Amino acid sequence: MNHLYRNVLEEAGIAREESDRRIEESFQAIFYGPDRFYSEAGPDMAYIMDTGNLDVRTEGMSYGMMMCVQLDRKAEFDRLWKWARTYMYMERGVNRGYFAWSVNMDGVPNATGPAPDGEEYFAMALFFASHRWGDGEGIFCYSREARAILHACLHQEDEGPGRNMWDRENHLIRFVPEQDITDPSYHLPHFYELFARYADEEDRPFWSEAAEASRAFLQKACHPVTGLSAEYSTYEGEPFAGLQNVFGRHDWHYSDAYRTVANIAMDYGWFGRGRGETWQVEIAEKIRRFFLETAAENPRGIYAVDGTFLEGQALHPVAITATLAESAIASSAPLAGGALRCVREFWETPLRRGDRRYYDNCLYLFALLALSGNYRIW
Residue type, 233: S
Mind listing the pLDDT tens digit for each residue in 166-220? 999 999 999 999 999 999 999 999 999 999 999 999 999 999 999 999 999 999 9
**Residues 163 and 98: beta-carbon distance below 8 Å:** no
Does 157 have pLDDT greater than 80? yes
DSSP for residue 45:
E
Q: Tens digits of per-residue pLDDT, 316-365?
A: 999 999 999 999 999 998 999 999 999 999 999 999 999 999 999 999 99
Domain spans of the chain, in order of start: 1-36+224-378
Q: pLDDT class for 62, splitting at 50, 70, 90?
A: very high
Residue 245 pLDDT grade (very low, low, confident, very high; cuts 50, 70, 90): low
* CA-CA-CA-CA dihedral for 160, 161, 165, 171, to nearest 10: 80
Amino acid at 378: W
Rounded to whole angstroms, the Cα distance separating 351 from 35 reads: 10
Q: Read off the pLDDT of each residue in 81-87 and give the average, rounded to a whole number.
A: 98
Band the pLDDT of 139: cuts 50, 70, 90: very high
Inter-axis angle of helices 357-371 and 317-326, nearest 10: 10
- Rounded distance, CA 188 to CA 154, Å? 16
Task: Sort residue 41 into left (φ over 0), alpha (ψ -120 to 50) or beta.
Answer: beta
| 95-114 residue pLDDT tens | 999 999 999 999 999 999 99
pLDDT tens figures, 257-286? 999 999 999 999 999 999 999 999 999 999
Q: What class, spelled out in words, does domain 1-36+224-378 have in CATH?
A: mainly alpha
Tally the C-alpha atoms within 13 A of residue 29's C-alpha that lie toward its C-beta.
Answer: 17
- The pTM is what? 0.97
DSSP string, 183-245: -GGG--HHHHHHHHHHS-GGGHHHHHHHHHHHHHHHHHHS-TTT----SSB-TTS-B--TTHH
Of residues 11, 59, 78, 231, which has the active-site annotation? Answer: 59
Cite the beta strand spans of the chain per DSSP E: 38-41, 45-50, 55-57, 102-103, 301-303, 309-313
The predicted pLDDT at position 1 comes to: 39
Residue 256: active-site member: yes
Averaged pLDDT for residues 50-62:
98
Q: Which entry of 55, 231, 256, 360 is annotated as an active-site residue?
A: 256
Q: How far is CA 112 from CA 104, 120, 165, 220, 352, in A?
A: 13, 18, 15, 32, 31
59 assigned to active site: yes
* Gap between the Cα atoms of 200 and 210, Å rounded: 15
CA proximity to 227, closest of 251, 250, 253, 249: 253
Percentage of the chain beyond pLDDT 90 is 95
The mean of the pLDDT values for the chain is: 96
